[in-house]
């Protein structure tokens, strides 16, 4: 309600097919609405992880090809899928990917720069897949 000065926001989880031509890729008729995160409160990282887990698990199952029978392919057509890019604002992408908040001491999802060194305008050591996975395991085991 803009007149009363109140704001409500919600989040959307959408899937798109990156094999489609860029001119049609993000059109509504080619976008799958996988979920809506209701207002007024944003879910924490544990909640968003639990919401995304079934979707991620299904997409990981589709990395191996499966046969899908259609009218044009009565014997089945091989279909596979890959989990791709994560697009959103900093708050949403950090939450979904499991990175710290933008206000944390190590806020950057690309390097290990400290917020106390931000004024130096220099990147820290680049994060690697191994260090990111190790941090995720430590968090999950805590």
Quickly list DSSP for 64-88: S-EEE--SS-TT-EEE--------S
Q: In which residue ranges of the chain is pLDDT below 70?
A: 1-8, 85, 87
The pLDDT assigned to 69 comes to: 94
Evaluate the CA torsion angle 93, 96, 99, 100 in order and state its sign.
Answer: positive
What percentage of the chain has pLDDT greater than the value 90?
15
What pLDDT, on a 0 to 100 scale, did the predictor assign at position 34?
86
Residue 6: what pLDDT? 67
Is the model's pTM score more than 0.95?
Answer: no
What local confidence, expressed as pLDDT, does residue 72 receive? 93
């Amino acid at each position: 309600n803009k007149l009363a000065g109140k704001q409500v926001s919600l989040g959307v989880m959408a899937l798109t097919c990156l094999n489609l031509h860029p001119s049609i890729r993000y059109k509504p008729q080619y976008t799958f609405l996988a979920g809506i995160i209701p207002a007024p409160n944003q879910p924490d990282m544990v909640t968003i992880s639990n919401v995304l887990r079934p979707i991620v698990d299904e997409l990981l199952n589709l990395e191996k090809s499966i046969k899908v029978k259609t009218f044009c392919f009565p014997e089945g057509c091989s279909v596979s899928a890959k989990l791709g890019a994560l697009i959103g604002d900093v708050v949403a992408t950090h939450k979904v990917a499991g990175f710290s908040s933008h206000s944390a001491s190590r806020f950057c999802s690309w390097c290990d720069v400290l917020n106390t060194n931000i004024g130096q305008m220099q990147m820290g050591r680049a994060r690697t897949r191994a260090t990111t996975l190790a941090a995720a395991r430590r968090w999950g085991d805590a």
